[in-house]
Structure 1
Amino acid sequence: MLRAATENDVGTIRRLRNQQANRDVSITSHEITADEHAAWWAKTSVDPARRVLIYTRDGATAGVVNFFDLDGTTGAWGFFLDADGLAERGETLPAWIEIMREATAYAFDELGLEVLTGEVLEHNTVVRQMNRRFRFVEGTPETLYGGGREITVIPISLRKQDRRKGQST
C-alpha cells in the first residue's frame, strides 16, 4: 500500500535511504546527514511538482517512492526499499514487484501521467532486468562524475499505453 509521507516519516525515510544496499545503487552514495535530510524534506514537502509516498507491507514501512518533476503529463520517479528488513524476512522480491506495480499504477492512474521517467545505474543489472519486465525502455547512457567516482546512468521511460496492467510480471 502507498500513502503520502508525513513529517512523522522523515526519520524512517533517512534511515532506509542510508542503508548500504540503497546507497550502493544511488547516484548520491554518501550517507545522508540529518541536516541534509531536513533541508531536503523542507523543500520537498512543499513542492507541488513532487510526491513522496511510503510503501507499507503487512503494516510496516517497507519502502519509499519519490515522484518529481511532475508537470501534469510527465514525471520522474525513484524508489528504495527497506533492504535490510525485507531481506531478513525473505520478502525482498515480492515487495519489489509490489512497490513497482503500485507506484506505476499511482503514476498513471492517480497522477494522470502519460510518461514516467527515471534513471538506473548501469551496473545495477538486477534492477535493469526488473524494469524491462515492467516494460520500461532504456535510453542512451550518460557518464557522471561525483562523490569521487565515475558512474554510468541510464535513463528509463515508460509510456502509459505500454505499461503492464493487471498482469503478473
Structure 2
Amino acid sequence: MLRTATDHDVDLIRTLRNQQANREVSVNSHEISPDEHAGWWAKTSVDPTRRVLIYERAGTVAGVVSFFDLELDAAPRTGAWGFFLDADGLAERGETLPAWIEVMSEATGYAFDELGLDELTGEVLEHNTVVRQMNRRFRFTEGEPQTRYADGREITVLPISLLKDNRRKPKGNS
C-alpha cells in the first residue's frame, strides 16, 4: 500500500535512506544528516511538482517512493521517480523480492492511474544490475549512459523511461 508521507514519517525516511544498501545504489551516497534531511523535507513537502509516498507491506513501513519534476498540466504529462526499500528489515523477514515487485507495481500504477502520467522517467546506476533487470521486467527502457561525479566518485548513470502504453498491465486488466 502507498500512502502520502507526513511530518511524522520524516525521521523514518532518513533512517531508511541512510541504510548502507540504499546509499550504495544512490547517486548521492553520503549519509544524510538530520539538518540536510530537514531542509529537503521543508522544500519537498510544499512543492507541487513532488510527491513522497510511504510504502507499507502488511502494515509495516517497507520503503519510500518519490515522484518529482511532475509536469501534470503539460502535454504529454511527465514525471520522474525513485524509490528505496527498508533493505535491512525486508531481508531479515525474507520479503525483499516480493516487496520489490509490489512497490514497483504500485508505484507505476500510481504514476499512470493516479497522477495520469504519459511517461515516467528515472535513472539507475550502471553497476546496479539487479535493479536494471527488474526495470526491464517492468518494461522500462534505458537511455545513453552519462558519466557524473558525486560524493567524490565517478559514476555512470543510465536514464530510464516507461510510456503509459508500454507498461505491464495490472493483474485483472486485459
* Bin of the TM-score, shorter chain as denominator length: over 0.9
Q: Which residue of 2 aligns with 1:147?
A: 151
The normalised TM-score by structure 1 is 0.98
* Stretches of 4+ aligned residues off by more than 2 angstroms: none
The normalised TM-score by structure 2 is 0.95
**How many Å apart are 1:167 and its aligned residue?**
4.4
> In structure 2, which of residues 158, 161, 170 is the aligned counterpart of residue 157 of structure 1?
161
Count residues in correspondence: 168
Q: Which residue of 1 aligns with 2:78?
A: 74
CA distance in 1, matches of 2:37, 2:51: 16
Q: Superposed, which structure 2 residues align to 1:1-169 within 5 Å?
A: 1-72=1-72, 73-167=77-171
Unaligned runs of 5+ in 1: none
Q: Which amino acid aligns with 2:84?
A: F
CA distance in 2, matches of 1:134, 1:147: 30
Q: Secondary structure at the match of 2:53?
A: strand
CA distance in 1, matches of 2:59, 2:140: 29
CA distance in 1, matches of 2:156, 2:131: 14
CA distance in 2, matches of 1:70, 1:26: 21
CA distance in 2, matches of 1:146, 1:105: 31
CA distance in 2, matches of 1:109, 1:145: 35
Percent identity between the two aligned chains: 77
Q: Which amino acid aligns with 2:21?
A: A
After superposition, the C-alpha distances for 1:30-56 in whole angstroms (9 at most, x for unaligned) are: 000000000000000000000000000
CA distance in 2, matches of 1:45, 1:167: 32
Unaligned runs of 5+ in 2: none
CA distance in 2, matches of 1:126, 1:167: 23
**How many Å apart are 1:166 and its aligned residue?**
2.1
